[in-house]
Structure 1
């Protein structure tokens, strides 16, 4: 039987408000242990997704994260999943869209998010005796 996204998803859904700056979003994401947030996209007439990469792109371009409104950096061409999707459905959508987070909607409300990392955890065998990382290397 296929694993469903609802079995792999996190129910922690961070919503970034229209007044949030990129710095505020960057502080909230690790505090909630998430890599993406739902954000209003007033220019697109709906919601968008703000991911860590969007923040990095802005900072890398020399923009001030204390002044940049988060909603200006959202991805508005968003694909949402239903909790009944399989992980295979999610992987296909993520690969096609080139993104690492997929928000799940139930009754048009975000109820969870599944990340590429969540899917890897579901598909990987349980770590029995994971080898230690060599000294001087960083674990991902």
Structure 2
């Protein structure tokens, strides 16, 4: 199974000047756990996750003053739609993160999360287990 089969094509894109409160509201409204942060001045892409917002709040920072740009991860590993889910899971495990921005050329076309991978793998695993049980019985 490939990343294109699992990824969410609902890509929330925000700017670095968005406050963390604005980012959290948009993420909540769209029911996503991460936003792509596009800096038009540098043409750079980064990612802001729910964990980044949680860490800021845990430090007692004001979500109305803190900006996405300050909390964005810019050292990002990008996936392509043609990656296998195993490759995506390996990248996430190795990097210690739960989301990958999926790029098709120079454009973000999706985000794949650990949840997306589990959603795709769980039915395959159940079917495999059921087939093994049937053959054993």
TM-score (norm 1): 0.83
Per-residue CA deviations over 1:67-123 (Å, capped at 9, x if unaligned) read 111111001110000100000000000001100011100011000011100100101
1:123 aligns with 2:129: no
Q: Secondary structure at the match of 1:83?
A: coil
Instruction: Report the more deviating stretch, 32-41 or 49-58.
Output: 32-41
Gaps of 5+ in 2: 127-137
Instruction: Work out whether residues 33 and 50 of structure 2, in 8 Å CA contact, stay in contact via their aligned partners in 1.
Output: yes
Distance 1:41 1:79 in 2: 17
- 1:17 Cα shift? 1.3
Distance 1:37 1:44 in 2: 17
Gaps of 5+ in 1: 129-140
1:4 aligns with 2:8: no
Q: Which residue of 1 aligns with 2:102?
A: 104
Per-residue CA deviations over 1:38-95 (Å, capped at 9, x if unaligned) read 1135898722110000000101101100011111100111000010000000000000
Q: Which residue of 1 aligns with 2:17?
A: 19
Instruction: Work out whether residues 44 and 76 of structure 1, in 8 Å CA contact, stay in contact via their aligned partners in 2.
Output: no
Q: Which residue of 2 aligns with 1:62?
A: 60
Instruction: Work out whether residues 39 and 50 of structure 1, in 8 Å CA contact, stay in contact via their aligned partners in 2.
Output: yes
Distance 1:54 1:109 in 2: 23
Q: How many residue pairs end up in the alignment? A: 125
Instruction: Work out whether residues 16 and 70 of structure 2, in 8 Å CA contact, stay in contact via their aligned partners in 1.
Output: no
Structure in which a larger fraction of residues adopt helix: 2
Instruction: Work out whether residues 41 and 76 of structure 1, in 8 Å CA contact, stay in contact via their aligned partners in 2.
Output: no
Distance 2:89 2:67 in 1: 30
Q: Which residue of 1 aligns with 2:47?
A: 49
Q: Which has the larger radius of gyration?
A: 2
TM-score (norm 2): 0.85
